[in-house]
Amino acid sequence: MITMKNGFLIAAEGIDGAGKRTLCSFMKKFLESKEYDVIQYEYPDYSSIWGKIIEDYLHNKIELNINEQFFAYFIDILKDQDKIRQLLEKGKIVITDRYFSSTLAFQCAKGFNFQNAISIIKTMDVIEPDLALFIHIPPMLALQRKFKQKNTLDRHEKDLELLENVNNLYETMVSREILSKKWIKIDGNRDLRKIEEDLQNILDTYIVK
């Protein structure tokens, strides 16, 4: 296995239905084919106590105010920081399906103060991704994709206005390079093979070289 001197953290970001899970899996397999040691995380982590709270909220089993929502999502990711830091120190590549930028995008789209969210996240000295990929698709396409996957959508997946606002906040983060050392926007509304080719080129540029 190839180990990197300082490890490498990649975060895949975007609205529900953007294809993050599929593309994270592709990146992991591609990098492993190049002999890199890759570990993947996915958020929300529904196996955690925080993830279970989030799951209950998304499926209307409980209600959370905006502050409770922000910190539930935030802590669910924060809990793994020590593990991720250790993996990076060992030269591993870590891929996350959503990261702190997702908490900022979704919760601020629902009313949490944008600057306060950035301040809270930065106060905890979280690990910034070396590369964040914003996979952009129109909200209506996201809705259609989710309906094909399952019959019942959660409260975020079916809220087109929310998803549009989330996309706009991601655009802001990309343009201002917030919470990542490098942002790259990817058009997710294309043939999967074209997207995978783009990802392969990106990984070749930043990691494989």
Secondary structure in 3-state letters for 6-72: CCEEEEEECCCCCCHHHHHHHHHHHHHHCCECEEEEECCCCCCHHHHHHHHHHCCCCCCCHHHHHHH
The CA distance from 146 to 18, in Å, is: 10
Structure tokens at 144: 């259609």
Instruction: Answer whether residue 201 is part of any domain.
Output: yes
Per-residue confidence (pLDDT) for residue 208, from 0 to 100:
87
> Is there a domain that residue 34 lies in?
yes
The overall pTM is greater than 0.75: yes
Q: What is the CATH number of the domain that holds 188?
A: 3.40.50.300
Structure confidence at residue 61 (pLDDT): 97
In a domain, 30, yes or no: yes
Which structural domain, as residue segments, surrounds residue 203?
8-208
Say how many Å lie between the first and final Cα of the chain, rounded.
Answer: 16
Angle at 131 between CA 15 and CA 177, to 5 degrees: 75
As a whole number of angstroms, the distance between CA 101 and CA 132 comes to 9
Q: Quote the CA–CA distance of 119 and 114 in Å, as a whole number.
A: 9
The answer to the question of residue 53 being in a domain is yes
**Residue 184 is assigned to a structural domain of this protein:** yes
Mean pLDDT for back-to-back runs of 10 residues, the chain (209 residues): 86 96 97 96 98 97 98 98 97 98 98 98 96 97 86 89 97 98 97 96 92
Residue 3 resides in a domain: no
The two tokens of residue 56 are 């209950």
168 lies in some domain: yes
Point out which residues pair with 93 in neighbouring strands. Answer: 8, 38
